[in-house]
Amino acid sequence: MAEAGLAACVIDYRGHGEHPLPLDTRVGEDLSVAIKFCRKFGNVTAIGHSLGGRLALLSDADYRIAISPSLSQTYGEQTQGMLKALRSYRVRPSELSVLLALQAALPVWNPAQDKGNVFVFYAERDAPEIVAGCTPLETAGVRTLRIPSALHNDIFLSEQTFTAIRDQVREWYGTGP
């Protein structure tokens, strides 16, 4: 965002980082409060990864960027195993059942409503449900980018992801060289 000449606000979602509340179905409110605050300064772009990507897409931000968004409401055994192994130390409570219940409770994002102000990234080697959810978006007219060789847990570190986000933000806001 700084490379595009814009200010950034980083959200510590409930159940993550140092936020004192546990992860629950009200996690989207954390983003809504931040967006409301940031509107004082102009248009707002929500950028999120995984669950944060889905929350960004569901938000009322002016522009939305989702990186490997968890669009599916259910997950197969392979993905559940990966989630159990990778999320246990990152999220409170760490029980997979909490995340699965949250995923099922969140509204389904309708890409037909947001085509011009959305950019979705996904990793070539992402969870099968994420690839299956993101692949048809391009056909639906949503701007998408598959990051080659990336995994779910490293797509947000890819130079290609950074560059594409910076360029898209510059286009939306008319900033930078």
Q: How far apart are CA 166 and CA 151, in angstroms?
A: 21
Q: Within a domain: residue 177?
A: no
H helices present in the chain, as ranges: 27-38, 51-58, 77-87, 96-105, 128-139, 159-173
170 in Cβ contact with 146 (< 8 Å): no
Backbone angles phi, psi at 131, to 5 degrees: -60, -45
Q: Within a domain: residue 166?
A: yes
Domain count, the chain: 1
Q: How far apart are CA 7 and CA 55, in angstroms?
A: 20
What is this structure's pTM?
Answer: 0.91
Question: Which structural domain range is residue 26 located in?
Answer: 2-171
At residue 64, the 3 state secondary structure works out as: strand
Alpha-carbon 104 to chain mean position: 16
pLDDT of residue 84: 75
Q: How far apart are CA 61 and CA 85, in angstroms?
A: 32
Q: Is 3 left (phi over 0), alpha (psi -120 to 50) or beta?
A: alpha
pLDDT of residue 100: 85
pLDDT of residue 75: 81
Indicate which CATH number applies to the domain containing 62. Answer: 3.40.50.1820
pLDDT of residue 123: 96
Low-confidence ranges of the chain (pLDDT < 70): 3, 86-90, 115, 176-177
Q: Within a domain: residue 176?
A: no
Tell me the CA distances in angstroms from 91 to 29, 108, 136, 142, 159, one per residue in order: 17, 22, 30, 30, 26
Q: Within a domain: residue 162?
A: yes
Q: Within a domain: residue 59?
A: yes
pLDDT of residue 115: 67
